[in-house]
Amino acid sequence: MFADLGAALASFGMPALAIVLFTVVVRLALHPFYRAAVRGEKAKAKLAPEIQKLQKKYGKDLMRFSEESQKVYKRNGVSMFAGMLPMLATIPFFMVIYQVVTTPNPLLDGTLFGISLGTHFTTGFAWVFFVLFGLLAVVAYVTVKWQQSRMTTTPTPGFMTGLVKVLPFGTILVAAYLPLAAGLYLLTTTTWTIAERALLYRILS
């Protein structure tokens, strides 16, 4: 199946562009899920101050804290898992894309600036990888700054503050390990993610 999908994308004649366009089409199809996720996250954020008060009140009594938190969410018509379930629904789609850009198929026989899309940084050391890493770093930096700006309005556990600063840059390590095609996909989808989330947080109530 993955080979057939890769062959179909490769048939467009510009495999690198096909990866970008295919990723964009999939992200557009998944937009309703992300829209629902952001709505859920914003609904939970509004209740965060009340949840923090419960956390201080019940301290280490996790059972009581959990019970009272559930009551708060239920009273306000908000699920404790709001923002998570829509995201989980998108996993199968990304598993398909991942297989297409990493499994040997006609798509990976294409090239980007003369470099095979199936080339790995660890074996090729092609200049295009350094451009890719630089662009991924820029997107990661923008993502970190945006997430930090969200922390000023949404209470965040201490350990998350550190993770937010480093996790987005993990895409560079992933791109260094996977084929160039996968790196191109990562650049497209991470750029889309930060742009989409920033927009949705701005326009959704």
Q: Determine the 3-state secondary structure of 79 from DSSP.
A: coil
pLDDT at 156 (0 to 100) = 53
**What is the reported pLDDT for 157?**
53
Q: Quick one: pLDDT at residue 205?
A: 67
Closest CA to 117 of 175, 35, 173: 175
Q: What is the pLDDT of residue 8?
A: 87
Look at residue 40 and give its three-state secondary structure.
helix
Q: Quick one: pLDDT at residue 186?
A: 95
Instruction: For the chain, 205 residues long, give each residue's pLDDT as a single digit of tens.
Output: 778 888 888 888 889 999 999 999 999 999 998 998 888 888 887 888 888 888 787 777 788 888 878 888 888 887 777 677 667 878 888 898 989 999 888 999 999 998 999 999 988 778 999 999 999 999 999 999 998 887 765 555 555 567 778 889 999 999 999 999 999 999 999 999 999 999 999 988 6
pLDDT at 117: 94
| Per-residue confidence (pLDDT) for residue 152, from 0 to 100 | 61
Rounded CA-CA distance 181/187 in Å is 10
The percent of the chain in helix, strand and coil, each rounded to the nearest 5, is 80, 5, 20
DSSP letters, 92-159, are HHHHHHHHHHHS-SGGGGSEETTEETT-BHHHH--HHHHHHHHHHHHHHHHHHHHHHHHHTTS---HH
